[in-house]
A and B are shown apart, each in its own frame.
Chain A
Amino acid sequence: MAYTEKVIDHYENPRNVGKLDDSSENVGTGMVGAPACGDVMRLQIQVDDEGVIQDAKFKTYGCGSAIASSSLLTEWVKGRSLDDAEAIKNTEIAAELALPPVKIHCSVLAEDAIKAAVRDLRAKRERTSELETEGKAE
């Protein structure tokens, strides 16, 4: 299969590879996919107090298009609010990388990954604020 230049660029020079401290309450982690399906993405975002994404890291087990989709996503989410990040559509990723039809699922997975990371972060923050409220009540 022929890959587009953008896919090859992200594959050869992946942006923001790595891991953030999952125990931090400012970090949300989204892990999607399954080894049996041939792709697993782990996307992590770190937000500031205003809820703006300051940093994003990923690691992906998958084909070149899956690696490129997640790498591109980490570039896109930085500087966005959680709502904006969550609104990223797989079709935008697929269009930017010019993914062929058989690789569309890679972009779907990337969309799932950012949604899962945002969800994880919100859940963490809710738990924290509940604890804080409980603490104040006492």
Chain B
Amino acid sequence: MKTPIYLDYAATTPVDDRVAAAMVECLTTSGNFGNPASRSHQFGWEAEEAVETARANVAALINADPREIVWTSGATESDNLAIKGVAYFNQKKGKHVITSKIEHKAVLDTCRQLERDGFEVTYLDPDEYGIVSPEKVAKAIREDTTVVSIMHVNNELGSLNDLAAIGKICNEKSVRFHVDAAQSAGKVEIDVEAMHIDLLSLSAHKIYGPKGMGALFVRRKPRVRLEAQIHGGGHERGMRSGTLPTHQIVGMGEAFRLAKEDMGKDLEHVVALRKRLLDGLSSIEETKLNGHESQNYPGIINISFAYVEGESLLMALKDMAVSSGSACTSASLEPSYVLRALGLDDELAHSSIRFSIGRFTTEEEIDYVISKVENAVERLRELSPLWDMFKEGIDLSTVEWAAH
């Protein structure tokens, strides 16, 4: 077993060897290096063909038409293009946007920018498990609402929203429905038709493809119109200019083709490892699983180890790559905004660790992680004055702290 053990698949994934092999074919003189936009020679035609094959593979994974796929530099750009694009295009109709408090920063910060530009944004509260209720979306929709943006799987919690129900509501009220599917594409089923999705952001590097590559699904029937955010040569039907990076696109296409082929197997693997991890850690007292127990993508496991601060725990787990909702990992001193939005105590938010597992995680690695975490939590609780107080029966919420 190789250390450090990688358990941060929600941050990024390694490129699958099969994907890397396909990408390498599109770079050098002996390969498919042409500009897909060159219409006058074979180099261009071959590159275009590779790009279109990839487009079909991406479309197939989400039950879309290849003509509905727009290449971007990643899910962040897709989120920007979808939300700003639709909001600006429809601003004569209305200037109201709906999203949730636990969206990725790519969505939240884009909404902040719209607010600076005179738009009004409603940020819905998720429930305590990180699920946005379709009823809340329905209630928030107004005459002047033009777009609703809700993520599929939350990156910190793994909680999974009921897209079909939200999509149906948006469809009935003729409001555009955008979904950030960076964490879910290729891992759980997505059907843009059945779920009434108008725009869907995709990322390659979360599903064993390359970084710097993404796509936006833009519905054609009925046509979703949006204002381009990057102007230039009119690539991607004018929605996103810029020379297409053939090797990146081919990588994403191959990653998505493999994801469709292996989805059942990948999911089964992740479900089994999640169970193994949770069973193994169940001997530790005073832990809390954050997120939803069943309505989730099982590859993301977020646990609070009460009375142990997250960053100190990360320090003890130095031979594994995990992340923490602790403020100490950022300069702001604020713990994870996602965990806070669930109504979790700040103390528990500071004490949280996210394990995210994937295609290449092994049982041996999980067993190793379990024993390391058990030891670290025990050792740090021995060091924790809060653990002492808890053991003495003191209710920490009644203590008056000298906050700083």
Contact = CB atoms under 8 A, between A and B. Distances in A.
A109 interface: yes
Interface in A36-51: 36-42
Interface residues of A, number: 33
A32 B404 contact: yes
A38 B350 contact: yes
A60 B383 contact: yes
Contacts of B1: none
Contacts of A79: none
A60 B384 contact: yes
A67 B382 CA distance: 12
Interface string B300-340: 00000001111110010000000000111101010100000
A127 interface: no
Most buried by A among B396, B402, B403: B402
A64 B329 CA distance: 11
Contacts of A11: 312, 315
For chain A, what secondary structure do more than half of its interface residues adopt (helix, strand, loop), or is it mixed? mixed
B314 to A, nearest CB: 9
A41 B309 CA distance: 12
Interface string A13-52: 0100101000000000001111111111110000000000
A35 B396 contact: yes
Interface in B353-397: 382-388, 396
A38 B401 CA distance: 12
A38 B396 contact: no
A35 B387 CA distance: 11
B315 to A, nearest CB: 4
The 4 A-B residue pairs with the shortest CB-CB distance, nearest first, are A34-B401, A35-B347, A36-B346, A42-B385
B383 A14 contact: yes
Given A37-B333, A64-B312, 20 more contacts: A3-B315, A8-B315, A19-B388, A31-B385, A36-B401, A37-B346, A38-B311, A38-B327, A38-B346, A40-B401, A59-B384, A60-B384, A60-B385, A61-B383, A61-B384, A62-B328, A63-B309, A66-B312, A67-B312, A112-B402
